[in-house]
Structure 1
Amino acid sequence: MDERVLGATGLRVSSVGLGTLTWGRDTDAHTAAELLRSFVDAGGTLVDTAASYGDGAAELVVGTLLGDVVDREDVVLCTKGGVRQTAGGARVDSSRRALLDSLDASLARLRTDHVDVFCVQQPDPATPCDEVAATLEHVLVSGRARYVALANHPAWRTVRVADLLAPHRLAAVQVEYSLLERGVERELLAAAAEVGAGVLAWSPLGRGVLTGKYRRSVPADSRAASAHLAGFVAPYLGTDTAPVVDAVVTAAAGLDIEPLEVALAWVLAQGVASAVVGARTPAQLAPVLASRAALPAEILAALDEVSAPALGYPERR
């Protein structure tokens, strides 16, 4: 796979990233090792994890594999903080205390003294933007991370934090982006470009729905059949997404490739730095790594049309 520069930085990341949402829970350490080895052998570098994935279990697995299965310097390691578990469930907390405590705990689990990219996972209305920016600046100065980013933040908050940091300090935004979720096109993509932040697209396969495997039923071994991930997939299983999925499947048949290759190629054609794919098994990862699809202009246009997000005032007048 090719490498792309992350925003206005000099950091190069693989065009496909390896997500670890299921590691330590649905994906055991042995399978994770096979995934990571295959990914790096195929030229992949970006490995994405988070403190909240399995309440730290994913980071623990990643930490055991770095230096054993692959060399630490062969991966661009991204982790996220700002979501912590409490007695009442997950809580968003982007305060200085929470972010620094989370990052220090992540470094311990990952068995490294720094991550390449540290990302604030969710916007926290209770924490001022200047506190978030100051904390990210401290993370950089202290050497805990080489670059900083924001995930799932609205455009206005992204620009505000970026403005409070030194120029081009905000390296990336990590957002859901696929043919089934194009909301970031309304404002966020333009905001990211304005501040020089690269785009890391998560769930480029529409939470697995764009593979076409849910068109007839819910496979027993799929995320949609999982007790803890069914709610993650459910929003895209309605009839409103069917025309998009059908278009992807039709395009794939015409090009003699897999639907996931069409979905992935579309996202990569939108100028993102990397598309993060959270394969649970080697069988799921193999076609992603083998994909070299580039979509013809007419197919890109057709997919754009069938999946176009609704725009209104003030984005469109």
Structure 2
Amino acid sequence: MTSLVFNTIKSMVFFGECMVEHRADSDISFAGDTFNTAWYLSQFNKDKTRLSVQYASAIGDDEASSNLALLLQQERLESPYLITVQDKKLGQYWVKLAENGERHFEFDRLNSPVRQYFNQDSRLLAALKHKQFDAIYLSGISLAVLCPEQRAQFIAALRQFKQHGGVIFFDNNYRAALWQSETPQKWFQQLMALANVAFLTDEDEYAVHGTQCVNSIIAHHFSQELAPDMLVIRCGSAPCVIAVAPNDVLETSPKKIAEEKIIDTTAAGDAFAAGFLVKALQGETFENAAKFAHRLAGQVIQHHGALMPKDKLTKYLSEE
């Protein structure tokens, strides 16, 4: 398995939307795909001098926005690219659960401040163009909440960032409701051509590209003129697949979790990505990184909401 230069990354920016989360157990928290990954990564980042974890987004001028800004400060998530958009409020979502922990979401995000991000502030674009940090992590949702003009600006800056040696992580999180007026394929393909590492969920790949199995996902992406250096394909309770070439593939199985212990699968894939990054950034093998990612995701789905309770996470970490 080919090695990537993870140990060159000392600073990483996560860009996306964070919302108010109304959990199925009636608790209220914050969540958003790239935010979730950044939050979990920050929990493992005991030595701040080793990795600077930064979150880029937009908040409004409501109470929830103020609380989110405070949370970022408390959780050691740096926010030099967090902007405030006046007269806007954070989006919200409500989690509805089936008996097996699978979730259904109801959203109120049409006036989310992040939709105006690059129209309001160009600091992140400038930082990308001048490579003022080592890596950036974004997702399909990060693209979907932007208008086409902002997306084009963002991708142009990412292209310059890559040319200067920046590392790009792309998570294919696909939400059909966010792409009602256009198709995502061309945008996703532009990101896949720039990404060093792509975290893919198999079902999202099937929905976006019409592929029908993991092998076809691998074949589709590596047949492109430009492709990521590595695909990390999450397949739910089935083994994850790591591919650096069509014939260079590693499978890693998760530990089976009793069905009655599965409470809420929200953020399982986001936590998996964080767990993988934790170990890869520490110089572990990709197999060990995937095993740890499975274990962390397995813990997350045994609790309500995207962010598992801090005391439970601390206990888990002490046992690792």
User: What TM-score, normalized to structure 2?
Assistant: 0.37
User: What TM-score, normalized to structure 1?
Assistant: 0.37
